[in-house]
Every structure is written in C-alpha cells, then in structure tokens.
Amino acid sequence: MAEWLYKMKQTGLKYGLIVLALITTSSFLIALSAFCFEQKAEGKKDVVSNEIGGRLIPISQPRIPLELAKRAEMSSQAFLKFFKTPTQQFIPLGFYAMVHDIRDSEKLKALGSRGIILFHKYHSEQSVDNALKDLGSAREAGVAVLQNLPSKYLKTRGREFWQRHISALVDNSQILVWYLPEETKEKDLDQLKQISDIIRDTDSRKRPLITYVVDWHADYLRRVNSITDAVVFGAYPSYHGTRPRIHIKRRIEHAYQSGVSVVIAALEALKGKYNWTRPKDVRFDAYLALISGAKGIMWYGYAHAKQRPELVEAVLDVATELNGPERLGEVILSGKKPRLLNCQAVKGPAYFHDDYKYETGVRTSLKLSSIQWKGREYEKYLYIFAVNTAQKLRAVEDGGKTCRVTVKFGPVNSKSSKIHVISEERTIDLSGGYFTDTFEPLGTHIYKVRIE
C-alpha cells in the first residue's frame, strides 16, 4: 500500500493513503473566517442575545492569532496532503502503544479496515532491526506506521548515530509520518532539532514530523512547532479523574493561541483514576477535539483499551464515521462554513465553564458555551457537529437533567422535512428552516440534511 502511495506521488498524483479500499473523494479547504453570524470573536463574547430573547451560541473555531492564520492554513494543507488519495481526504487517526500487537498483521489489517491510519509502538531503545520487523508486519497488513524514534538516545547519541539510524529506515514505504522522541524538555530541544534536520535532509519524500509535547508554556510550544509539522497536544480527563472533559478544548485552543500551526489531539482510551474511559467519552472527546480545530487524533492507547473490547469498538466506531463511507473527516477538513447558520439556546445551562489563563488560577471574563458546535456544507449536504460540555464530575449520569441542554439550529435551506442524525437511527422534524434537539450531559450529535 505505502509503495503505491509513493508511486502516485512520483507520477504527479496527490500523495495519499489507501488504508481503506472502499471509501472515496475530494479536496482540502480549511476555513479560518469569522463567526457565521455578526462576525464576533468567541473570545470577546461567548453568548449573545437576539431580538426574540434567545441566546445565540457562536460557532466554535480555533482562536488562531490573526497574524498567524495564513501560516496555519498553509501548514495544515501541507500536512494533510499526506493523508489524501486521488479519491478521498482522510483525517489522520492513530493508536499509540501497539506494543506486541504491531507484529500481528491480521489485527493491524482489521483496525485499518475501520479507519485507523497510523500505528505507533513506544520503544525507547528501538534498534533498526526491531523497527524493520514492525514495518514488515505493517506492509503485510497494508497499513502505515507512525515511525518511532528511540527517545533514550536523544541526549546520549550524536549526529552520526541518528544519521545512520534514519538512513537505514528512510527508504521504507510503510512509514507515513516520523515520530520524534516525545516529551522532550525545553533544554533538550536543540537535540530534537538536530534529528529533525537530519530527517529533512535525508527523506526525499519529505514526510511530516510530529511529536507529543511535555510542556504548555507558549515559548516551548512555539519552538517545538518550528521543529515539527504538527504538535500532538490533548488531555486525559479520566486519567486524572478530577478534570472536566472540556479541558480538551482548552488545551487545543491554548496550543493555537501559543502559535502552534497544526494540532493533533491526544485522547484517552485507558483506565483512569476512578474509572475507565467510557464509550460515550470516546465519541464526545473526538468530536469536541475536531470542533475545536484539531486536524487529527492519536488515542492512548491500544495496549490499555484492548482490555475492554467495548472501548476499542468505541474508537473504531468514531474512526469509521470519520474515514469510512460517511467520510465525516473529509467533511470537517474540506467543507465550507455556512454563511447564515446559527445555534440558539432554548433551555438548560448556557455556560458550563468559566475560562481562566491556562494552568493558572487567574480568571478572565470569558466563559465557554455549554454547546460547542461546527457547521459544514459539503457535496450538497449540510452537516452540523455539536457536543454538550456540561457535566458534574463523578455525579450520577454526569449531572443528569441539571446539565441537559436544548438548542435550536437554523436557518436551513432544504426541501427536506427531516434532519438525519448520524449513527443514532433517528430523524428530527425541520420546520420553517429550524430544528430543535436536546443534549444529555456530554451528549454528541451529528446532523445531516440535503441542501441542494
């Protein structure tokens, strides 16, 4: 599969991926414009009143500094082209911590058929021979690898070692993305840049470089951004057990505000402090991350999640929605933002969480809307992705009716009288161009309606 991708690039076609053989089409367009009504930035006023007394909830989008918006758009396009075939724009989705399962080609093939694109194995002392065996298994399965680079040698080995190590792997077609030693501290970023420079000088295919960051400070994030093509940054609320799941949005937004051009969300599929990540958490986290501007997802991690088959299945359900026949990943990445669509609060808490300066106790006047949402028009359809971030930590049913939110979406210009709710086997009446729906705590809904 990966050799085919390289040949496609060499013959002038877009360099992409063919992990899933049954799915198709289109090109990338990222929208970084103002809100779809009144053109007010969310950071200035998160909920506004309209003339009939309701509250309009702004469309969610990353708060990228205006002077960096063009660079972020170009960086996103350059990164995402590696996940594009002549027939479809895929969204990068992957599993961390494959451990021994990366040698099970049948398991890799099964995961790949459900929309997982990148497979990664941690190994702090990984030899070239060990890496080549992993790549051989991936080749047999027809999937791609997020190629690990051994973190233990970051500070103990010099340029000659890294040149030899990278040169031994660089011709392997199963590598789709290079994974630099993760959680590199600020004092060691010069060594990380040295490895990055060697790859950029050695890899004629110019495959992208990513890494997982260890620090949240803006100067650190900007430096890592200058070394890589995308930064992996996310949140594990269950792992800590005391953090609301909206923390994922705040992490992604902080990365963009700090100058990161492309964010890949790191999301959990593991045993937390008090409980396992739940299937509904997996879906909520994924769509909250994508609504907030993430350009892909890495789940941590397969070695944990496989202990709970329903947890693996929850990840695969999301991956299939995004990279399968419904092609929701392509919709998110390539669709256009509707000009007139808005969301109006009807009932329930309008705000869930007061914002504050990241990782400090300093409060600001900004509040975050309970409903986070994104609209996209794509191939004759309107799609709306929406989640309810309201919850009570460790409460029965996450707070139940006290955190339930009802909203109205519209105007929708469609001859149809029904809105299809993806993956829920239900429809909603569309009346006068508007429809209303209710969200349970951490509820996730995806709407689709034909508009042409």
For residue range 411-440, list pLDDT tens digits in order.
999 999 999 999 999 999 999 999 999 999
* pTM of the predicted protein model: 0.87
Question: For the packed helices 159-169 and 128-141, what is the interaxial angle rounded to 10 degrees?
Answer: 20
- Secondary structure element (H or E) that encloses residue 263, with its range: strand 263-268
Both tokens of 173, joined, read: 């077609």
pLDDT band at 62 (very low <50, low <70, confident <90, very high): confident
Average pLDDT of the segment spanning 14-28: 33
Other CB atoms closer than 10 Å to residue 228's CB: what's the count?
24
Q: State the Rg of the chain over Cα.
A: 22
Largest CA distance in the chain: 69
Sorting pLDDT into bands at 50, 70 and 90, what band is 43? very low
Domains in the chain, start-ordered, CATH in brackets? 23-64+334-450 (2.60.40.1180), 67-327 (3.20.20.80)
Amino acid identity, residue 435? F
Instruction: Name residues whose C-beta falls within 8 Å of residue 21's C-beta, 6 or more positions apart in sequence.
Output: none
Give per-residue pLDDT as tens, 339-389: 999 999 999 998 877 666 666 666 666 678 999 999 999 999 999 999 999
Over residues 188-196, mean pLDDT: 98
Q: Return left, alpha or beta for 12; rule: phi > 0 is left, psi -120 to 50 is alpha, else beta.
A: left
Residue indicated by tokens 């929208």: 31
What letter represents residue 449's amino acid?
V
Nearest Cα neighbor of 366 from 41, 26, 9 is 41
pLDDT confidence bin for 42, thresholds 50/70/90: very low
